[in-house]
Amino acid sequence: MSTLTLNLEKIYDEVTKKSLSEYENKVKQAITALHEKTGKGSDYLGWINLPSSVEESHLTEIEQLASQLKEKIEILVVIGIGGSYLGAKAVSEAFSHSFSFLKDKKDFPRLIFAGQNIGEDYLSELLEVLDNKKYGIVVISKSGTTTEPAIAFRILREHLENRVGKENVKNYIIAITDAEKGALRTLAEREGYKSFVIPGDVGGRYSVLTPVGLVPLAIGGFSVRELVRGAMQMEKRTKNTSNFWENPSAVYAATRHALYSKGKKIEILVNYDPKLHYLTEWWKQLFGESEGKEGKGIFPAGVDFTTDLHSMGQYIQEGERILFETVISVKTPQRKLTVPHDEDNLDNLNYLKGKRIDEVNKMAALGTTIAHIEGNVPNILIEIAELNEYNMGQIMYFFEKACGISGYLLGINPFDQPGVEAYKKNMFALLEKPGYEKETKIIKSKL
């Protein structure tokens, strides 16, 4: 069984192993508070034992639904924003063909996402594509009133009704929402949509192992069983409070906090595989929304190397020394390709002939790490054996647990997001939403 490994050799010039050991008691207290639900935000800790609590009957129900829809649709439009789409997007992008949009035949419906923006061109172009496709919708929202997904669902529901008829549309729409309340729950029950529940004690950014992630991923043909199995393995591994160094989430959280206390205010998540781009986007939301409070928190950024070495590489190498890197390395790629010999050798690349592309990539990664370490950029290395659903489940739960620990080390509630409401209040006031008359008057006076 392959397992995630954490390598800290490239941070010890900045933070010693001895100084990390001093975090052991604080981290142990944080883990205990998470599992016993005694810390801040304890109402939103349903994710902590989620992998091991996913029932066989639940997975079977999701798989049966996926099997039924597979025969009826070519495209599944997943409507959601933030944690309601990023987890599924991260997994689907990691395991989809990089050029699937150009491939004629696909065994499972292709996942397309909507409701994650308010782009008029985006939605218009999506409707243009869907005009000639058989499609279904998974709409994800606890309330059903979040602006971006609610707009997208209103438009797409009308479009789908016109395609299949009002009487049949219920066979093509799945609602994932609150168990009892909210606009989407009311609509789902009235219209007879198949529905799944978002647990009330699981926030969006921790929800990938609930129906929020599992339902669209299963319909898209990805192994949700392996995803859950990998997360379950990491759940067991990160419960450990008896040996600090054997708990990777604990060590990672402590390392981040130690670097933060040394003035490293920005963490850059680095990947050398373009398939992991949306894992980075998921990670950015997880840590940004969890830690950025009360004037505290590490700013989460992301880069795709080697691509971004030609844009952000200069700043990372020689800019302000306020950052550190966490590198995700995949040991073995899924495919094999070597550099060919060329008689003319005009590009002077014959010295690489016969080498695998991945070997070149790995040497670029090693060379970059050495350069950045010499430039005073500490590096944390996370390694997985290969890119599959099992390892993705491991790494996602690893980050979730580390994020909870990190929040408690900072002394904040890592499970709320009060700052998100600020822009919404201004937007509603500017749009003159009923009930915001006072706010509308105030904000227009500012303009």
Same domain, 124 and 114: yes
Residue 312 lies in a domain: yes
Query: 237: domain CATH number?
Result: 3.40.50.10490
Same domain, 220 and 288: no
Alpha helices in 37-105 (DSSP H): 50-53, 56-70, 83-95
User: First and final CA of the chain: distance in angstroms?
Assistant: 60
The domain total for the chain is: 2
Give the end of a domain, one of 171, 196, 226.
Answer: 226
- Average pLDDT value for residue range 92-99: 92
Residue 106 lies in a domain: yes
Give the end of a domain, one of 226, 248, 281.
Answer: 226
Same domain, 308 and 372: yes
Say yes or no to pLDDT of 2 above 80. no
Say yes or no to pLDDT of 148 above 60. yes
Looking at 191-195, 217-221, 289-293, 433-437, which range is the least confident one?
433-437
Same domain, 222 and 278: no
Same domain, 232 and 358: yes
- Average pLDDT value for residue range 255-261: 97
Provide the 3-class DSSP secondary structure of residue 119: coil
Q: Could you tell me which residue, 13 or 277, shows the higher pLDDT?
A: 277
Residue 74 lies in a domain: yes
Say yes or no to pLDDT of 246 above 80. yes
Exposure string (b/e) for 401-417, b if CB count within 10 Å is 16 or more? bbbbbbbbbbebbbbbb
Say yes or no to pLDDT of 365 above 60. yes
Give residue 394's Cα distance to chain centre: 13
Same domain, 366 and 330: yes
Residue 401 lies in a domain: yes
Say yes or no to pLDDT of 364 above 60. yes
Say yes or no to pLDDT of 322 above 90. yes
Interatomic CA distance for residues 244 and 221, integer angstroms: 38
Same domain, 297 and 209: no
Residue 433 lies in a domain: no
Confidence of residue 242 (pLDDT cuts 50, 70, 90): confident
The CA–CA distances, whole Å, from 59 to 68, 128, 224, 229, 232 equal 14, 34, 8, 12, 14
Residue 444 lies in a domain: no
Interatomic CA distance for residues 198 and 219, integer angstroms: 18
Same domain, 240 and 351: yes
Rg (CA), the chain: 23
Interatomic CA distance for residues 337 and 188, integer angstroms: 49
Confidence of residue 13 (pLDDT cuts 50, 70, 90): confident
406 close to 23: Cβ distance less than 8 angstroms: no
Interatomic CA distance for residues 255 and 20, integer angstroms: 7
Same domain, 318 and 193: no
Structure-token match 């990372």, residue found: 316
Strands 379-386 and 5-7 turn out to be antiparallel
**Ranges 2-16, 26-40, 101-115, most confident:** 26-40
pLDDT at site 418: 85
Write down the mean pLDDT value for the chain.
94
Same domain, 281 and 406: yes
Give the end of a domain, one of 193, 226, 259.
Answer: 226
pLDDT at site 103: 77
Looking at 72-81, 85-94, 385-394, 421-430, which range is the least confident one?
421-430
pLDDT at site 105: 67
Q: Which domain range does residue 356 map to?
A: 5-41+228-410
Interatomic CA distance for residues 256 and 236, integer angstroms: 22
Same domain, 71 and 149: yes
In this structure, the number of other CB atoms found within 10 A of the CB of residue 281 comes to 17
Interatomic CA distance for residues 293 and 412, integer angstroms: 7
pLDDT at site 1: 56
pTM value surpassing 0.75: yes
Same domain, 141 and 218: yes
Residue 361 lies in a domain: yes
DSSP 48: T
155 close to 121: Cβ distance less than 8 angstroms: no
pLDDT at site 445: 87
Residue 436 lies in a domain: no
pLDDT at site 430: 80
Q: Please list the active-site residues.
A: 289, 310, 424
